[in-house]
A and B are shown apart, each in its own frame.
Chain A
Amino acid sequence: MASDPSVASASRLGFTLEDSSISFDLDETVYPLDAVYGAGYLFLDRCFVFLSRPADRMVRVRLTAREAAAPALLDLLAGEFGNELLSQVTRLRLSTATARIREYYTAAALRAAATSPSIDDLLSELEAEELAEDPLEIMVPWEEKHGTESGEAASKKERG
């Protein structure tokens, strides 16, 4: 980030201060435009963000406070913008570095989804199965298992 040395500045960060605004220049080879957009987007509700081109491959960012602001507050704003800018650059680099492996996993997941049986297929499979053995007599109704009289007594006990 560069400041304009020809303008007097009280900025602790060395940026250019004007009436309620602070400006700094970014080298696009260090901070890609997408990162500037990413940071700018997050600051739109906090201040006014204006971009210009002081030179080729350079982006000037001017942050204007929504209300009158002291140099210290403007420095804070610019400092936070700078931090967010760094975060956006990191995010972009990670995204680029992991693009191929993400594409691979997405394709693998789609392939698996295409070949896996549907719920209808699974239900049909279950219906077709013959449950010939039932050693724990799960399929046998309770009344049948314990006899009619015992079953009535048990039912009364439950209701009591």
Chain B
Amino acid sequence: MAQERSFDRSLYLPEAVRAAVDAFAEHALIELSQREGAMVVVLRDAGSLDPALVLDELSNHVLFETIVRRRREDA
């Protein structure tokens, strides 16, 4: 069963979400779409991995990428 997580654009950079989805693409089947004010990640197939764990790890990666990219912009 697909699980999704929504990343608010005011809190997460869209490019950070894309980067995280690309990074996790080899581990799971993930789709990325946009909703008003948010980027939505849909996890379709996590293989043998726990889907909740995959989403949690992906979310951390999105946050990491967002912070790093914002700091780079501020520097």
Interface contact B11-A51, CB-CB below 8 Å: yes
Interface contact B60-A37, CB-CB below 8 Å: no
Using Cβ atoms and an 8 Å threshold, which residues of chain A touch B70? Answer: 37
Interface contact B10-A48, CB-CB below 8 Å: no
Interface contact A44-B8, CB-CB below 8 Å: no
Query: Which one of B5, B11, B56, B59 lies within 8 Å of A53 (CB-CB)?
Result: B11
A37 to B65 CA separation, bound complex (whole angstroms):
11
What is the minimal beta-carbon distance from A14 to any residue of chain B, in angstroms?
Answer: 23
What is the minimal beta-carbon distance from B41 to any residue of chain A, in angstroms?
Answer: 12
Interface contact B63-A49, CB-CB below 8 Å: yes
Interface contact B64-A44, CB-CB below 8 Å: yes
Type the 1/0 row for B18-42, where 1 means its CB is closer than 8 Å to any CB of A.
0000000000000000000000000
Number of interface residues of A (CB under 8 A): 13
Interface contact B8-A51, CB-CB below 8 Å: yes
A104 in the interface (beta carbon within 8 A): no
Type the 1/0 row for A75-89, where 1 means its CB is closer than 8 Å to any CB of B.
000000000000000
Closest B residue by C-beta to A56: B10
Most buried by B among A37, A49, A50: A50
Closest A residue by C-beta to B52: A64
Interface contact A52-B8, CB-CB below 8 Å: yes
Interface contact B66-A37, CB-CB below 8 Å: yes
A52 to B67 CA separation, bound complex (whole angstroms):
15
Interface contact B8-A40, CB-CB below 8 Å: no
B15 in the interface (beta carbon within 8 A): no
Interface contact B56-A48, CB-CB below 8 Å: yes
Interface contact B11-A52, CB-CB below 8 Å: yes
A115 to B5 CA separation, bound complex (whole angstroms):
57
Using Cβ atoms and an 8 Å threshold, which residues of chain B touch A37? Answer: 63, 66-67, 70
Using Cβ atoms and an 8 Å threshold, which residues of chain A touch B11? Answer: 33, 51-53, 59
Besides A40-B63, A41-B63, 11 other A-B contacts (C-beta < 8 A): A40-B67, A41-B64, A44-B60, A44-B63, A48-B56, A48-B60, A49-B63, A50-B59, A51-B8, A51-B12, A64-B56
Interface residues of A (CB under 8 A from B): 33, 37, 40-41, 44, 48-53, 59, 64
Leading 6 A-B pairs by shortest Cβ distance: A48-B56, A51-B11, A37-B67, A53-B8, A41-B67, A50-B59
